[in-house]
Structure formats: C-alpha cells, structure tokens
Chains A and B, each alone.
Chain A
Amino acid sequence: MSREHEAEGPRGPAAVAATALMRTRRALTASLADRVAAAVLVASTVGYALVYAVAVRDLGVASRATVASGDGLGSVTVVEAPLRRALSGEGVALVALGPVEYLFVPATLAVAVGIGLLVGANLALSALAWRQPAVCDISPASGLAAGLPALLSGTACCGPLVFIVLGLQATSAALTAIAWLRPAAVLLLVASLLWAGWRLDVQSSASSGKMLSGM
C-alpha cells in the first residue's frame, strides 16, 4: 500500500487492520534505525525478561545452604536429556553466580522474551515519538501497563504465586483468570503497539510526512 493510498483512508475492518500493521511495521523499522529507540527496545526486553524471571521465581537469591555448599564463585548444573526436558517445559539447568541463582527453563524464557519484545517495541515507539516531540506524542504507560498481567501469572507447586504472596483464597474463577493473564497481556501489548504505530504514522504524516519515511 502506498502513502497515496493511505491518504484516502482505509475502508472496512480488514483494510484498517492492514493499514495499522503496515504503519506499525514501518514505525518499528524506524525505531530500529534510531539508536536511542533501538537501545530502549533491547534494554526493555532484557529488563522485562529479568523481572519476569524474578516474578515466576526462576531468578533469585540462593538459600544459605546452597551458597555454603557451592565450590567457587559460580556453577552450572545441567540435567540429563536437556532437550527432552526443555520440550516438556521443565528446567534444564541451574546457574549459580555467587549468591544469585537462575533456573533456566527454556519455555519460560521464551515467554518472557516474547512478551518482553512486545513491551520493548511499545517503549521503543514511545522513545521514537519522544525524540520527535514536535511531531508525535505517545505515552509509554500503556505499553508498560499491558506487560503487567503476565508478571502475575506465575504458579508455584500448588497454586498461583500471586494468591500465595497476597494471602488470598483462590476460587475457581480466580484460577481461570490466572490462566488468561498471559494471553491477555499479549493481546493488550499487540493492541497497544498497533495503536502506537497508527498514531505515530498519522501524526507524522499530518505534521511533516517525513518522520518515518524520512528515517
């Protein structure tokens, strides 16, 4: 779709969706070309993955006994048949570095990085808009907020961590809600990203028409 076509405005839901996707893709391409926005994308993704790992308790401080029994500063313990374990969603390695330990669960890490990329992309578009304050105005709040539900989705051995931490009773409705937190976060992040991409392109087009296409 050319810019001339867009100027006429999309007609129908499918056309709107296609236009939103195209604008978002163009906005993301522009963010990758912008050093600050790209740095925000990477930092946000890594930061979110770390917070997620802490939230689901894959990353944390080792217990006294674990620290005391360790030899040297760091260690890596890998299970047998790691590929099979990875495919079944199990942890495959425990990495200890001083008092910190990380349980490497490929499935969890994939989810964390996936959602982290969406959060990062949202923030990168906000950064891009911030770099052109006269042209665009996109708050990073929606992208950050949309990433929060997934942080509450962790489960312990016998129930959702958030209920254990808050001391709440888990009803069947609450358990169902917990199961939908991660899909909900993804949907919210995608919607937020599309909205940001749309807005960025619309505002830039209305102002100078050069903001994205010129980058």
Chain B
Amino acid sequence: MSQGPTRRRLLGSIGLAGAAAVAGCLDGLPGREVVPAGTADASGPPSRDGALHQPWPRERLREETVGGGPDKDGIPSVDEPSFASPGEVTLADDEVVFGYAGETDVKAYTQRVLVWHEITNDSLDGTPVAVTYCPLTGTAMGFERGDTTLGVSGKLVNNNLVMYDRATDSRWPQVLATAVDGPREGDQLREFGLTWTTWGRWREAHPDTEVLTEDTGYAKRYGSDPYGNYNPTSGYYGGGGPLFPPLDEGWAETLDEPKRVVIGTRTADRAVAFDKPALRERRLLETAGSGSNDDGGGDDEADGGNGDADAFLAAYDPGLDTGWVYRSRGASVEPDDDSEGLFAVEGETYRAGDLPLERAYAFDAMWHAWGGFYPETAYVA
C-alpha cells in the first residue's frame, strides 16, 4: 500500500532547487517517547497515554462518513518530503505555513503544498510523524505514526479529513485523532503542535528553519488552491457554509460564522474554543473557572465542577499571529501594557509562548468544524 519512489526527474529548467531533507535526529518530540523502530509496524501508530474527549458514538461517526470524491490515496500523501533553507526558495511572506520548532528540527510545511496532499509523512526530532492538513476544516495537526505511514482515505466526516494507517487500515478522523473504524477502533493518536502562521513571520522567528519544497515526487499545480486563498481570505476559506453537512449545527446558535477561526483545545472530558479574531484584539482570553469571559457556549456545570483544574487561558503572540493555550490553574496573568506580546505572570514578564504554566495542545480550526465535533464546547471571545 505504500507509495513507490516519488522523486521527480527534471527535463527542463525548474524553479526550486531541491535540497535534501534533514531528519534523523537523536531526541524525540518534547514530552513524547521515541517509538523504537520496528515496534509499531504491525499494529499501526502508537496510542496516546490519556484519553481524549470524544463526544460522538463511533457508530454515528461511521454513519456520517462520506466520500469526498477522490478514492483512497487519490489525494497522495507526501512520503519522501524534501526541504530547503529559506534562501533557496521563493515564497511570498503571506504564504500560510504550519511550523514546528523542536529541539533539533525547525521546519515549515507550506499550505500551498499540503492542500494537494493533506499528509506529509516525515520525521521530527528523531520521531516518525505525520504532518496533516485538512482544507475544509482549516486544521493542521501533527501525529506520531510509528513505523507505518498515514494516508488519505478519501472519506470525510464533519467535513474533516479521515486518515488511514497503512499498517492496519484503521480510519482516523484528523480532529478527533481517534480511530472510528478498523482494528484500532477506539485508540487515539499521539499529537504534537504545529503553529499556523505565515512564511514571513515564521522565517523571522526561526531564521534557521527549513521549508517543505515542491519537490514532492508528484506533478501538481502548487500555488493554485482549488478552495480559495488565504491572506486575504477568499473563496471557501472566506465565508459561506461548510461543503458537506456538519455533524451538528448547534454552533450556529452561539456564532453563525462557520469559517471563523477558533483555537481549540480539549481534555479528557471537555473542549474549549478561543475566538482567534477576539484574541488578536484582546490579547488574553480565559475560560470560566479563573475569572473568565466564557461566552456561555460551554457547560457551566463542568466549568464550575472542574474549577481551575480545567480552566484555560489563551495568550496572543503577535510575532507569529497565533495563540498559546495554557491551563491557568488560578494564576494571575495580565497583558503587559508597554510591550505587545508580553504578559505579566505573578509579577514576572514573559513572552506569550513562554508563560510559566502548563501548555495545552491546541490548534486552529474553522468554527463549524470545531462546533460540529464538540457540540458542548465552551466558546470564549
């Protein structure tokens, strides 16, 4: 089921000079165990340790799964990605990239390439991973894959990419990170964070970054996005409803803007969405439980019952135009009035990405996708 050799042969002059990918580092992803080679092949990707909130019965998810058009692997994953240094590529500053800054690897995955492949099987900090992107839900998520690779099943649920692993053929909706069908049904993937930002911002923050090139082994019209454009947003990304019927439409009662971007996080039993445009404006958003402006879209009892243990805050990072989500645990956090992007925590000043709190895994998503998967989500604006 794996793809054959995919390197391009050049007959004429080509634009991008190919650069060899650099992988093979010693350390694993932060906070994750390195999966020894050869231990996960037969059983598929490694499972996460703790349970992740999954509000829908798997049978219902299977029933709601639809074909998006292309067959299995009709959208081919990139299995031999190549990377180049910033000086070797020509990318506009406003190109969307999904960045990873690890202990040894710093990489940017371009949306212009991933919109045609949706999955890149790669290795980061010595760990085999899949960097995944779903254009219909606006979600970029990283997963550990063990010794197998992930592919695009051609199916969608709640408009979201349904991945499959090539070891067991189990089906994994991206946002849920949970197998809903196949031998691994019920298991959940180990995730790692990607930063949704632009090439100019990422390059400035990480001059040592590498960037995914168009030398994917496939002939595609990279840069021609069939759905529309980001920066400025237009087409599917800019407005209108989701392409396929969502799992749930209750989100429209809270906010009837399906394509509005939220930064979502979920624990074992709840989900929280921070409104990204509101976060840009207000710089700090907090859920109920620690002095909040929770908009009431969530479960008040759950908020109160869990108290600070499940209270979150989001801090805006203007450099990367992203939000970092933390468990607030009653900490006093205030935006610094003098410097944008700095926050005062218990009298000390920190950057948005370095607050001395427990970081929560979070990712950007279109509101319809988040609200469809997590109908009881808290919405914070």
Contact = CB atoms under 8 A, between A and B. Distances in A.
Contacts of A171: 245
Contacts of A5: none
Interface stretch (A18-26, A159-167, A184-192, A204-212): A159-167
Interface stretch (B31-39, B177-185, B235-243, B353-361): B235-243
B372 to A, nearest CB: 13
Nearest to B17: A69
A68 B89 CA distance: 10
B245 A68 contact: no
A16 to B, nearest CB: 39
B91 A65 contact: yes
Contacts of A76: 11-12
A78 B11 contact: yes
A182 B375 CA distance: 39
Contacts of B135: 157-158
Which among B66, B112, B219, B226 has the highest number of chain A CB atoms within 10 Å?
B219
B243 A69 contact: no
A107 to B, nearest CB: 12
B241 A69 contact: no
B245 A92 contact: no
Interface stretch (A55-63, A120-128, A133-141, A142-150): A55-63
Given A157-B115, A167-B241, A65 B90 contact: yes
B219 A90 contact: yes
Interface string A165-191: 101011110010010000000000000
Contact of B240 (A58, A65, A72, A167): A167
Nearest to B67: A175
A99 B224 CA distance: 12
Q: Which label, helix, strand, loop or mixed, suits the secondary structure of the A interface?
A: mixed
Contacts of A170: 243-244
B56 interface: no
Contacts, number: 148
Contact of A69 (B9, B15, B66, B226): B15
Contact of B219 (A94, A159, A175): A94
Interface of A: 57-58, 60, 62-66, 68-72, 74-81, 84-85, 90-94, 101, 103-104, 155-161, 163-165, 167, 169-172, 175, 178
A38 B89 CA distance: 48
Interface in B215-269: 217-224, 226-228, 235-236, 239-245
B235 A157 contact: no
Given A65-B92, A90-B219, 14 more contacts: A70-B15, A79-B217, A85-B219, A155-B69, A156-B226, A158-B70, A158-B135, A159-B69, A159-B243, A159-B244, A164-B227, A169-B244, A172-B66, A175-B67
B69 A175 contact: yes
A159 B116 CA distance: 12
Contacts of A60: 221, 224
A89 to B, nearest CB: 8
Interface string B197-231: 00000000000000000000111111110111000
Contact of B69 (A62, A93, A160, A165): A160
